[in-house]
Amino acid sequence: MSPPQTTGLLHGNGLLLAAAAAVLLLIYLIAVRKLNPFVALMVISLGLGAAVGMPLKSLVKAFEAGVGGTLGHIALLLALGTMLGKMMAESGGAERIARTLVATFGERRAHWAMMLIAFIVGLPVFFEVGFVLLIPLAFNIARRTGTPILLLGLPMAAGLSVVHGLVPPHPAALLAVTAYHADIGRTIVYALLVGLPTAAIAGPVFAKLITRYVCADLDHPIAKQFLEADDPSRELPGFGITVFTILLPVLLMLLGSWADVLATPGSLANDVFVLFGNSVMALLVATLLSFYTFGKRRGFSRDTVLAFSNDCLAPIATVLLVIGAGGGFGRILIDSGISDATIAATQSAHLSPLLFGWLVASLLRIATGSATVAMSTACSIVAPIAAAAGNTVHPELMVLATGAGSLILSHVNDGGFWMVKEFFNMSVTQTLKTWTVLETLISVVALLLTLGLSAVV
C-alpha cells in the first residue's frame, strides 16, 4: 500500500531541514532534558508531521499505523526471546556453558572462552541481562585463576555487544531484519562472518593490550557479593542440551532460509521448513523446549515456570514502547514525503546506503546513548533509501551496517557505560579508555568488514 499523498507546506530541502531539526530536538529532549524516549519520539513525530503540513486529521492515525506495523512482529520476538533467556538464567544453563568452555580452553585462554560464552548466551537476551547473568562467572573465574578481571570482563562485554547489534535471533538485530526485509538465514551467516572476528579484535585482543595500562580489582562490594554467592556444588543442566536449546532458533531459521534447496518448492516438506524457519515460530519452539529442558528437567514445577515466564515480561515494556514509537516516527517520515526527499538527496550525493545507515545510527547512538533507540530510529529513516537502491545493496548487509553504527562510542549517557564502570569498580576515565574504546572498535571494525563483504557477495 503506497503512502498517502500530502499537500505539505515544505518541499525538497525544506523537508530535509525540518527532519534534521526534528532529530536534533529529539536528541536534545532525550539526552539533555532526560525526557522518556517513548514520549520524546511521540511528541517529535506528531510535531514534525504538523510542521511540514500533514493533514491534522490523519496525523495520529499515521503514527498509530507505524507503531502497530512495527510491534506486530517485534513484540512476539521480544516476549519469546525474553522467556527463553529467563529460563536459561534460572536453570544455570549460562553457568554450565561457562564452566565447560573455560575448562576446554584452559586458564591461559579464559578470555577467549568468555568471549564465546557471551556470544552464545547473548543470543536470546539483551546486553544488560546478559551482563548481569555472566558477571558472577567472570568474577569467580578471575578469583580462581588469578586472571585480571578486565581481561575476562571486556571480552565478555564485547561478545554480548556484538550479538546485540549484529546477530539474529537477538531481538535488536531482528528489528533491523524486519525493517530492511532481509533474509534471516543469510543475515545470520553474514553476521557470524562479521561478528566473530569483530568480537575477537574488540574483545580478547584489545583486552590483552589495554590491561597493561588499566587495572581493576575484585576488592569492592559488588564483586564480593557475587564471590560469596558462588556455589560450585550447584547441579547444572548438561552442556549439550543447553547449547542445543539456545541455538535451536538459529538452526530452524537456517533451515527455513534453505527450504527451497532442501525440498521441492510447494511440497509439504518445503512448507514445513518455511513454517518452522519463521523467526517467531523458531523462537516459540525453542521457548517451549526450554520449559522442559531448563524447567521440568531441572525440577521446577509448572507454577514456577509460569512465574518465570510472567515475571520476565514486565521489564521489556519500555523497550517495546520505544521500538513502537520509532516505527511511528518512521511512518511520519514516509507519509510526509521526507523519506522521498532523503532518497533523492542521497542518490544525488552518491552516498552508499551502507555508509548512510551506519552514520545515522552512529549519530543517534552518540546522542541518545541507547543502541535500541538508535537502531529502531535509524532503520525507519534509512529503510526507504535502501529499498530505493534496489539490487545495488543487500538488505542483509544493511542490517549489519546499521547495527554496527548503533554500537559506537558508548559514553556517559548510556546505561551500559555506568553498568561496566560500577561492576568493574573503575573511574569514568578508565571506563572511557576501556568500554568506550571497545564499543567504538566494534562499530568501526564491523563496518569495515561489512563493506569488505559487500564487495564479494
For 272-311, the pLDDT digits (tens) are 998 998 878 888 999 999 999 999 999 999 999 999 888 8
125: DSSP letter: S
pLDDT at 427 over 80: yes
How much of the chain exceeds pLDDT 70, in percent?
90
Mean of all residue pLDDT scores within the chain:
84
pLDDT at 395 over 50: yes
Do residues 362 and 443 make contact, with C-beta atoms less than 8 angstroms apart?
Answer: yes
Query: Which pLDDT score is estimated for 4?
Result: 44
pLDDT band for position 23 (cuts 50, 70, 90) = confident
Within 10 Å of residue 181's Cβ, how many Cβ atoms? 11
Query: Which pLDDT score is estimated for 155?
Result: 95
Query: Which pLDDT score is estimated for 307?
Result: 93
The four Cα atoms 7, 13, 18, 22 give a dihedral, to 10 degrees, of 130
Whole-angstrom distance, CA of residue 457 vs CA of residue 450: 10
Residue 73: which H helix or E strand, with range? helix 56-91
322: DSSP letter: H
* Stated length of the chain: 457
Do residues 109 and 126 make contact, with C-beta atoms less than 8 angstroms apart?
Answer: no
Query: Which pLDDT score is estimated for 325?
Result: 84
Query: Which pLDDT score is estimated for 248?
Result: 87
pLDDT at 3 over 60: no
pLDDT tens, position by position, 245-275: 888 887 887 788 788 888 888 899 999 998 9
How much of the chain exceeds pLDDT 90, in percent?
30
Nearest in space to 242 (alpha carbons), one of 294, 281, 279: 294
Angle, CA of 238, 251 and 296, to the nearest 5°: 35
Query: Which pLDDT score is estimated for 9?
Result: 59
Q: Which amino acid is at 445?
A: V
3-state DSSP assignment of residue 238: coil
The cell numbers describing 241, all together, are 542440551
Query: Which pLDDT score is estimated for 1?
Result: 40
**Any residues with CB less than 8 A from the CB of 84 and at least 6 apart, and which?**
124, 245, 246, 249, 283, 286, 287, 290
Q: 1 or 24: which carries more pLDDT confidence?
A: 24
CA 147 to mean position of chain CA atoms: 29
pLDDT at 232 over 70: no
Query: Which pLDDT score is estimated for 62?
Result: 92
pLDDT band for position 6 (cuts 50, 70, 90) = very low
What's the whole-number mean pLDDT along residues 387-415? Answer: 86
Query: Which pLDDT score is estimated for 346?
Result: 63
Q: Where are the beta strands (DSSP E) in 340-394?
A: none
Query: Which pLDDT score is estimated for 7?
Result: 47
pLDDT at 230 over 80: no
Residue holding cell 578470555?
111
The cell numbers describing 302, all together, are 509448572
Do residues 426 and 216 make contact, with C-beta atoms less than 8 angstroms apart?
Answer: yes
